[in-house]
Amino acid sequence: MRLAFMGTPDFALPTLESLLEAKEHKLSCVVTQPDKPRGRGRILSVPPVKVLAKTHGLPVFQPEKLKANEELFRKMISSDLDAVVVVAYGKMIPDEMLGIPRYGFINVHASLLPEFRGASPINRAIMSGATKTGITIMKIEHDMDAGPVYLQEEFPIRQDDDAVSLSHSLSLLGARMLQKTLSLIAADALQPVPQDDSKATYAPIIHREEGNIDWNKDVEDVHNMVRGLLPWPCAYTSLNNRMLKILKTSVTRGSTGFNPGTLIKERSSLKVACSGGFLTLHRLQLEGKNPMDGPAFACGLKQNRLVLGQTGEHP
């Protein structure tokens, strides 16, 4: 198949790598997000997809706006494309572009559509307490993540999964499923099936203020928040007026006898009282410091039964 590829983050790399390795496919170009300054130093960050594409000598387009990029339109039209593969690209595809390839734009989406339509399906699935998710291979249409489905496969969310580990697993599954989808389409053996819009749920983009922990919440909800907000913005609170990121936790159900947010130091461990139980802190990071394991952090903590608070602002 003659293909173009659109994607940006690490999640897209396994699919792009599999297409580069497949002899039956030829990639004409790669489209990714523009380089962007990030962090306090505003250092220019290059999309992982761009790095891989350049390594293989592929033409790379980084348009600020797809609709206004005549060069990209001409490239897609002149390449006589069978399909454009999209994996976590990060922008809506304009309608006038959708009709260029023979089979349209084929998207790898990290949820069991119509559940968790939107930009953050992995994070939102974990934060909701879901025990399963999956990959959907779908055809892109005008409305976001609402197009018909080619293939779908479930994947379990384990208790120790976070957004980083689950993203890695799903990226590998997505790459395998995309290859299968393209083979079936090429053989005229697969037609997409419309979604049931009445069952749609949504996964809007994550905002940094969502990481601010409310210790009055149920302990499971806080635990799922910690898991779901890695690697950014992370769940966070404050300790002695300093930002404290909570990176890895576990849950112990039961009555606590303490006010929510009370930090308990027991031997070489740390736990926080929440509604419905204790949240044990296995890994955390104090503002200005490197991440530490809970026992090491506890050893350096002189006070006990401190109350964790909210700063209302992310570093």
Does position 313 have pLDDT exceeding 60, yes or no? no
Alpha carbon distance 179, 168 (integer Å): 17
Cα pseudo-dihedral 9, 158, 144, 149, rounded to 10? 110
Alpha carbon distance 42, 97 (integer Å): 33
Q: Which residues pair with 134 in a beta bridge?
A: 154
Task: Give the pLDDT confidence score for residue 311 in this predicted structure.
Answer: 39
Alpha carbon distance 271, 277 (integer Å): 10
Query: For the segment 291-305, what is each residue's pLDDT rounded down to a tens digit?
Result: 999 999 998 888 889
Provide the residue count of the chain: 315
Cβ contact 239:226 at 8 Å: no
Which of the four pLDDT bands, split at 50, 70 and 90, describes residue 314? very low
**Counting beta carbons within 10 angstroms of the beta carbon of residue 116, is it exposed (0 to 12), middle (13 to 18) or buried (19 or more)?**
buried
Q: Is 211 helix (H, G, I), strand (E, B) or coil?
A: helix
Hey, what domains does the chain have and what are their CATH numbers? 2-199 (3.40.50.170), 209-307 (3.10.25.10)
In sign, the C-alpha dihedral spanning 156, 161, 163, 169 is negative
Task: Give the pLDDT confidence score for residue 24 in this predicted structure.
Answer: 96
Between helix 13-21 and helix 163-186 the angle, nearest 10°, is: 30
Q: Which two tokens stand for residue 161?
A: 């999964």
Query: For the segment 79-107, what is each residue's pLDDT rounded down to a tens digit?
Result: 999 999 999 999 999 999 999 999 999 99
